[in-house]
Chains A and B, each alone.
Chain A
Amino acid sequence: MIIRPILYDIKKTITSKTVLILIAIVLLISLAIIPLTSIGSTGPQNKLFQAPILYYHDVNLGSYHYLAYFSNRYGDPISGVTVTVILQGPQNYTKTIVTNSSGLAFVGINAPNASYYVTLKEETPGETFSMTLPPTASIKTTVSRAVLALSGQVISTVVDKHNASKSDVQVFYAGDYGVVPSSYSLYYKVVATPFYCSGSCLTEANMTKLGDLNNYRDVFDPSIPSGLSDTDEVFFALFNQTGSAVQSSNFGLVELRHPRQPVMESSIASFFFSTILGLVIPLMAIIGSYSSYGKDRLTGVLESVLARPVTRLGLATSRFLSSLIAFTIASAAAVGVVDLLLNSIGGSFLEQSYVLAIIAGLLVEVAAFTGLIFLLSHLLKSTGALLGISIVFFIVLDFFWGLIILLLTRLLGGTPGSAVELQSTIYSDFVNPAQFLAVINVYVFGTLNGIPIQPSDYGVTLSTIVLVGLVWAVAPLLTFLYLAVKRD
């Protein structure tokens, strides 16, 4: 018997004008991720990903050659980057080349053999970068045609396009005289640390082949097997046609599986979820709960339903559930829209577990605020009082909470960025349902107010988050149900 009223109430709540408007607003707000992404793209995390500058000196012809490759953080080539190489010596030489569609810029300067200071400039719209390369005289090569990497590593990591939580391996290299490499192969080996390599431990024979390098650059998916320790390391080596290792690099397993720093999407998403959705969802829950229950109860409209064959507990539960389901669907839809937009802009979805954690966090926030407004509607006597107190609640918990805690901490002697201040912030976030997403972000990203922290040192563990989430989701609900059943 209770199912039908619940279904009726869910439909009634979801299709009510107020809720539809709120859902539309939330979905529209989720589009704000687009400008945020473009703001993020000009920030340091999205600058050009530059592979090493390759260099060789053709002594016979009397020319200096520089080969540069520019990509985004996924390793995709970026064309149109202006690369200028300036040689300063007995005479100055300058040459400018724009990267082609493969992201490559071949800069060859005919200059007599001499000692030159080398400067390299990169220019993209809105960004100029300059770096000093080693002077030509300092580069000793046994074979003048051989290619050397002047900056960075030939074997580097890039973000996996299809799974931003792991990294791929990018190799950028050239054969003698800067020709397209042929018959080069990349090998890898997982080793437990500490790893001591003496002599020829990195050979094709005791490593696993990952693939051949048939172009200046290529990206390889190491497909690290599961069941390894996070402290293990992966060694990569590039072998030439004679089986000699020409380049090698090693990365921690953790780095390959999870980027040390949150990738751009995660960073923007965490900001968006905790700051914007964290603000809008409680507001939606407050207005929606007022509209679907508080107003009906305080104006007496609910009595016209209570007079039907339904128990007080049944009616209260159905109204709560219908509000919770409606607002959770809206929240999850907003998260989904954000994830889709981030994918279409940045090329990768957010990590699934993070998305689920955010949806669970929003569910807790919705449940907490819905429960609180339902509860308040049993304690207050008028719709005006309910609306007024709800708005004050929202403003204090969402806008001024951080400031209040900051002032209190300072009054108690806490200094900016001190452990006391960080601990106070964490504790205050635990007791404020509007900050629940912020707590999840602290746990996931290990930063608080931009300061890297070890979450468990401040009591932010999976178990405390689950416990606090359960308390916020259940305590207001149970109190509300008690009042709804036991009091008029």
Chain B
Amino acid sequence: MIEVKQATKIFSSKQGPAINSVSFDVKNGEVVGFVGLNGAGKTTTIRIAVGVSLPTSGTVLIDGHDMTTEKAEASKSVGWVPEIPNFEPNAKAWMLMRYLAGFYGIDRTEATKRSKELLASVGLSGFENRKIRTYSQGMKKRFSLGVSLLSDPQNFLLDEVLNGLDPEGIHFFRELMRGQKRVNKAILLSSHILTEIENIADRIVFIHRGHVIKTVTREELRAHEGIKGVLRIILQNPDEDAISYLKTLGGDLQVQRNEIVLSDFHGDSSQVNAELVRKGIPVREIKYEKTGLEEYFFDLIKGADARR
């Protein structure tokens, strides 16, 4: 569990605080989205939470251990993937991972074995002997994820990890987060794009100009009247059976040849797909989009700015 309590960071007395009395928590088995514009304070908060930056005031508790005063103990159960991973560029991947494993008390033989396994599990099999400087940004993120998994930590802090990844990479990270959530891990996932994390986060903490301006659950977000889900399905043969099933899902249904658009949809698109397949209705394509999320986000920001 991650608890951020009244965290404030002032880099320079000439400027205002980068974050000011930021408080939120991430419970075990929960994915919390941390959303804000660039410069809102997401990375500053995460850096304080993982112990690479010191708070000017406030505390961060990791499984009850203060990251400032009990750094070594708190860091044991933290996995951090920064937006731009920055490792020793001239080190070979598996050797660097083995070196970092030493900090977790993992013996050399075990560290070597685990490093190679983790590199394979994050899709870097065959690249173990390459130097980090030869890695692409996506590979560095995968490597960073592998390092964060070294100690099988209880808590993950993922800073803009989906940024700059190809679709396969995004899918990989999403699946990994779902898997970790299933085993009761606490995950904080930051992004400046709400739509990117809306469908994976259980809660979303909005931060703007160093202040937490709103925390909403996924249900609260979906229930917001301005936010609508649009499900686009292309069927090979949109027959009566298919139409009558889709009508039961609620919302406005429009049929244009073999494309069916279901507006104001709030369900799970994967379940719809599964049901259609079960009914023997061939699905060519199924796509779920949300409208109004960005507007919601900008309204929050405008409201916060107006209050200041």
Contact = CB atoms under 8 A, between A and B. Distances in A.
Nearest to B101: A308
A408 interface: no
Contact of B50 (A301, A307, A488): A307
Choose among A1, A5, A304, A310 the residue with the greatest number of B CB atoms under 10 Å from its CB: A304
Given A309-B76, A312-B71, A304 B102 contact: no
A314 interface: yes
Given A5-B102, A301-B86, A307 B52 contact: yes
On chain A, which size bracket covers the interface? 20 to 34
A1 B78 CA distance: 17
Nearest to B9: A488
A244 interface: no
B103 A4 contact: yes
Contact of B100 (A296, A299, A304, A312): A304
Interface string A299-318: 11101111111111010000
Contacts of A161: none
A306 B52 contact: yes
A323 B69 CA distance: 27
B76 A304 contact: no
Interface in B40-59: 47, 50-54
B88 interface: yes
A140 interface: no
Nearest to B99: A8
A487 B54 CA distance: 7
A303 B86 contact: yes
Nearest to B80: A307
A12 interface: yes
B251 interface: no
A299 B100 CA distance: 18
Contacts of B82: 303
Contact of B54 (A299, A301, A488): A488
A375 to B, nearest CB: 18
Contacts of B147: 304
Contact of B87 (A304, A308, A310, A312): A304
Interface residues of B, number: 28
Nearest to A7: B102
A293 to B, nearest CB: 12
B223 to A, nearest CB: 38
A221 to B, nearest CB: 54
Contacts of B102: 4-5, 8
Nearest to B90: A17
B298 interface: no
A12 B90 CA distance: 12
Interface in B87-130: 87-90, 99-100, 102-105
Interface in B111-166: 147, 151
A296 B87 CA distance: 9
A314 B86 CA distance: 21
A309 B75 contact: yes
A304 B85 contact: yes
Contact of A299 (B80, B85, B86): B86
Contacts of A8: 99, 102
A309 B86 contact: no
B51 A307 contact: yes
A307 B151 CA distance: 12
A246 B86 CA distance: 85
A305 B103 contact: yes
Given A12-B99, A296-B88, A308-B104, A303 B71 contact: no
Given A4-B105, A487-B54, A308 B85 contact: no
B88 A304 contact: yes
Nearest to A16: B90
A459 B167 CA distance: 73
Contacts of B52: 303, 306-307
A310 to B, nearest CB: 5
A487 B12 CA distance: 12
A90 to B, nearest CB: 88
B216 interface: no
Nearest to A296: B88
B86 A308 contact: no
B74 to A, nearest CB: 8
Interface string B9-37: 00000000000000000000000000000
Contacts of A4: 102-103, 105
Contact of A309 (B47, B54, B72, B99): B72
Contact of A308 (B73, B89, B103): B103
A300 to B, nearest CB: 4
Interface in A75-124: none
Given A1-B105, A5-B102, A5-B103, A307 B54 contact: no
B242 to A, nearest CB: 51
Contacts of B104: 308-309
Contacts of B99: 8, 12
Nearest to B105: A1
A482 B24 CA distance: 31
Nearest to B104: A309
Contacts of A307: 50-52, 75, 78, 80
Contact of B71 (A12, A17, A299, A311): A311
B87 A311 contact: no
A308 B72 CA distance: 7
Given A296-B88, A304-B85, A310 B80 contact: no
A320 to B, nearest CB: 17
Contacts of A312: 71
B88 A301 contact: yes
Interface string A1-23: 10011001000100001000000
Contacts of B89: 301
Contacts of A300: 86
Q: Which of B71, B73, B87 has the most CB of A within 10 A?
A: B71
A312 B50 CA distance: 13
B86 A1 contact: no
A39 to B, nearest CB: 41
Contacts of A308: 75, 100, 103-104
Contacts of B85: 304
Interface in A446-488: 486-488
A4 B100 CA distance: 11
A486 B54 CA distance: 8
B97 to A, nearest CB: 11
A305 B72 CA distance: 12
Nearest to A4: B102
Nearest 9 CB-CB pairs, A to B?
A: A308-B103, A309-B75, A303-B52, A300-B86, A309-B76, A309-B72, A8-B102, A4-B102, A311-B71
Interface of A: 1, 4-5, 8, 12, 17, 296, 299-301, 303-312, 314, 486-488
28 contacts: A1-B72, A4-B102, A5-B103, A8-B102, A17-B90, A296-B88, A299-B86, A303-B52, A304-B86, A304-B88, A304-B147, A305-B100, A306-B51, A306-B52, A307-B75, A307-B78, A307-B80, A308-B100, A308-B103, A309-B72, A309-B73, A310-B75, A310-B103, A311-B72, A312-B71, A487-B54, A488-B53, A488-B54
